[in-house]
Structure 1
Amino acid sequence: MSEREATRRGVLEGIGATVATALGGAALAGTATATETWTAVESPTGNTLHDVEDTTAGAYAVAGGGIVLERTETGWTKILGGGPTGNGHSLYGADVTDDGKRLWFVGSSGAVGEYDVETGVVTDHSAPMDATNNFNDVAVTGAAGEATVSVAGDSGKVYSSFENGASGTWEYTTPGSGSAITAVDFHGRRSGHIVDGNKSVFATDDGATWEEIGLADANVDFYGVDSDGPDDVWVSGGGGMAFHWNGSTWTPADTGDAGLRDVEVSDGDDSGYTVGSGGKLYALDGGDWTQAQTPTGQNLKAVVRGDPAIAVGAGGTILEA
């Protein structure tokens, strides 16, 4: 089990299932199965929801137009309508601190924000090092107020702060050829992986230097990455392809023809989900990906394991299981 997974599970076990449910459902994830019933729930926005995360206060989703949604006992509600700057820049990626207390999100025109789920305070960290290109994803490790933050986007650079995004603490690297980085995920304080538009996967163990570890002859674009350890990485991509790295070998799996935009797998039981175009959702159970039935044909953009599991996508789509 990775440092990141162990920390989050410890937090959720500490607050207890009863408290987690009362706060909006941030409980431990169960085993993913294709027989789960996925239900469409009412959404307060028609904008595309690009990412979804679980916190100690429940689930949150980020969307076009700078919208942030919160899942409450009475349903989903909009808590932010213009992004961290109020300018309405679309939000494309999100992550939470290991203690589940801060939600970080990134998006267009260099948008970077930090939301305290306990106080409702938003801190604007936008345009690190004056960068105003589109940011596609963010990885956050460490506790609230002490996080390591890594932001990736269309410039092909990874912007990192080891001091919670404080001004003057950002630095950047260009891991590959400069192709847009589509996803980033970290399994340790400074250890993680990215995928880029050049069909490449890179790894770091210091948060600053990157080594290419694949993926030769994949022949599809990469959209999502789940970094559970140096020898446990999942990548989702075009053509229905999902890939797993065990430290020495990449193993492909062909789920069909949908572009798979996100993947999330537990390193504890190799159980998880991948989602993509046309409402496609696949569950990993027993080493095999099996399609689950969903009540939508909308393109799905992200999925998070939890209680409930949640998938989000185009047209404000929210599915729960």
Structure 2
Amino acid sequence: MADSSAGGSGFFAYYRQYARSGVHAASAAALTAIGLWASFTGNRSFILLAIAVYVLPPIFLYLTGEGEKVPSVVNEDASTDDDPDRGNARTDEAHDSDDSHDRSDGQVDRPGTDATAERRTTDESTSVDTSGTASATDRNDDEERIDDGTDEPVSKSDDSDRDGDESTEPDWTEIDTPTDRSLLDVVAAREGAYAVGEGGVVLVCDGDEWTVALDDGPTANANTLRGVDGTDDGETIWFAGDSGVLGRYADGTLTDHSAPEDQTSTWEDVAVTGESGGERLYLVNGSGELLHGSYGEGTVSWEDIEKPGSGSSISSIRFVDDDLGYLCDTNQSVYEMTDGGESFERIGVEDANAAFTDIAASATETLVTADDGSLFRHDGAVWTRRRPGEGALSAVALGDEAGFTAGDGGAVYERTNGDWKSVETPVAIDLRGIAVGDEKVVAVGAEGTIVER
């Protein structure tokens, strides 16, 4: 502000500062309000009051020196206004500096450009993606991690996954079946599928309709069938289960091969390689044992029983080709076979802390499900662990370009672009088996439930 002892030029410099102050703004507002009131009432004395309210404050502040204490509304150096010559000198210096800068490098310095660019960069880095796709940072914040030696994010499915997939994925349909007995396993064969389950029931689907192929098992004793698999050409299937039952079904004809090598323990699963008429069989049981043999001319030549692990129940066995196969047990162990079951190598899984329920494999990967809802994947070098949902997983299957897993409460998860997504099914019943065929995917479960896609 100007000094109160200054002359006339000092008053005008002071007034320029005063015009930017809060006191001036208040007096101007009072002038307007009182003037309007005078116009409304017709009382001329209010006009004089309005003029006094506007004119007297700056005169009083200037004469008493209180103007020094009036805060300026604009953040501006008052000394420039007080001394025009000094202000002009600074302006000239700035122009000289700019001219010198222009002559030295041919560029003009534009104040504020860097700050603007920095602000724009900051805004872009913190912008919200409204398209519904989270950034990598957002995904990392939402992911749960588990300590299994792999530091692998655990993918969780939710209703948004289901809603987003409904418009692009084929619908799953619940099929009317001729049984209410629980189905425990399923295999795709030729253009159809076979399912097996409690009471020795065997269902077959040659098209859209499921019918009963066998009602009470290969021995007619209604022993539960727990595993089923087919030959490479899909012409023949084998099924096995409680009390050592084992059956072969080809062209509508059943052959009983139960109690092989006098073994009457429960077969938990069966795997088949080769084409019909010259297939090889692999049976695993609850005592951690493996029995394999070769079929030909109506009989099976069995080899000695072997025990790959510690004796824990072997829950599942699968082969990729005639030589390469895998099996898993309930003691968090997975074994690889590279010579058709002649030898075994344990390849995992450390610190799984879960009982394995099913296994699927291809030439490039192995998938294992567990009763705690975990899904393990081996790429030939390391194991990674994911948890697609909350419930237990009972079955997993691989196709040429697809992967599926199923479990409690009718849950089915499909692998899409490397991520496991929950897909909607019309049932809430526990699913126990799943298979990927050329034409469709089939899942089976409790109370004779079958769903297809």
**TM-score, normalising length from structure 1?**
0.85
Match of 1:217 among 327, 351, 364: 351
Which residue among 196, 199, 215 is the counterpart of 1:81? Answer: 215
Residue 115 of structure 1 pairs with residue 249 of structure 2? yes
2:374 and 2:417 mapped to 1: Cα distance? 18
1:158 — aligned with what?
290
Deviation of 1:304 after TM superposition, in Å, equals: 1.0
Residue 30 of structure 1 corresponds to none
1:239 corresponds in structure 2 to: 372
Q: Deviations over 1:44-102 (max 9, x none)?
A: 11111011111125111111111100114462111101111111111011000001100
CA-based RMSD of the aligned residues comes to 1.6
Tell whether 2:184 aligns with 1:65. Answer: no
Q: Is the 8 A contact 1:299 1:313 kept in 2?
A: yes
1:144-183 alignment runs, 5 A limit? 144-163=276-295, 166-183=299-316
Match of 2:327 in 1: 194
Q: Which runs of 5+ in 1 are unaligned?
A: 1-32
Deviation readout 1:165-198 (Å, 9 max, x if unpaired): 8344233210000000000001111320001011
Which one of 407, 416, 426 corresponds to residue 276 of structure 1? 407
Among residues 423, 426, 435, which one is paired with 1:304 in the alignment? 435
Contact 1:239 1:256 in 2 (8 A): no
Aligned to 2:269: 137
AA aligned opposite 1:278:
G
Which residue of 2 is the match for residue 26 of structure 1?
none
Moved more, 271-280 or 55-64: 55-64
Instruction: Return the structure number with greater strand share.
Output: 1
CA apart distance, 1:308: 2.2
Cα distance change of structure 1 residues 94 and 220 upon mapping to structure 2, 3 Å threshold: same
Measure the CA separation in 2 of the matches of 1:57 and 1:36: 19
Q: Does 1:227 align with 2:361?
A: yes
Which residue number in structure 1 is paired with residue 390 of structure 2? Answer: 257
1:195/1:141 Cα in 2 relative to 1: closer, same or farther (>3 Å)?
Answer: same
| 2:257 aligned with 1:125 | yes
Separation (CA, whole Å) in 1 of partners of 2:191 and 2:256? 21
CA contact (8 A) 1:148 1:190 kept: no
Whose helix fraction is larger, Structure 1's or Structure 2's?
2
Q: Partner amino acid for 2:209? A: G
Distance (Å, rounded) in 2 between the aligned partners of 1:75 and 1:162: 33
- State the TM-score, normalized to the length of structure 2: 0.61
Greater alpha carbon shift after TM alignment, 49-58 vs 205-214: 49-58
Q: Is the 8 A contact 1:244 1:251 kept in 2?
A: yes
Structure 2: how far apart are the matches of 1:74 and 1:222? Answer: 33
* Amino acid across the alignment from 2:177: S
Distance in 2 between the 1:69 and 1:234 partners? 27
8 Å contact kept, 2:373–2:390: yes
Aligned residue identity for 1:158: L
| Secondary structure at the counterpart of residue 299 of structure 2 | coil
1:238–1:257 contact (8 Å) kept in structure 2: no
Displacement of 1:258 after TM fit? 1.3
List alignment gaps of at least 5 residues for structure 2: 1-164
Please name the residue that 2:419 is paired with: 288
Q: Secondary structure at the match of 2:362?
A: strand
- In 2 relative to 1, CA 184–74 (structure 1 residues): closer, same or farther, beyond 3 Å? closer
Which residue identity lines up with residue 221 of structure 1 in the other structure? A
Q: Is the 8 A contact 2:227 2:241 kept in 1?
A: yes
Shift of the 88–123 alpha-carbon distance from structure 1 to 2, 3 Å rule, reads same
Match of 2:183 in 1: 49
Change (3 A) 1:236 1:113: same
SS in 1 for 2:304: strand
Distance in 1 between residues matched to 2:196 and 2:177, nearest whole Å: 12
Residue 58 of structure 1 aligns to which amino acid in structure 2? G
Structure 1 stretch displaced more, 194-203 or 33-42: 33-42
Q: 1:177 corresponds to which letter in structure 2?
A: S
* Post-superposition offset of 1:162: 2.9
Structure 2 partner of 1:90? 224
Runs of 4+ in structure 1 deviating by more than 6 angstroms, as ranges, are none
Tell me the SS of whatever aligns to 1:173.
coil
Report the number of matched residues.
284
Instruction: Measure how far apart 1:36 and its partner are.
Output: 3.0
- Give the Cα–Cα distance (whole angstroms) in 2 for the partners of residues 56 and 274 of structure 1: 22
Q: Distance in 1 between matches of 2:301 and 2:293?
A: 9
Query: Structure 1 residues 158 and 48, CA, compared in 2 at 3 Å: closer, same or farther?
Result: same
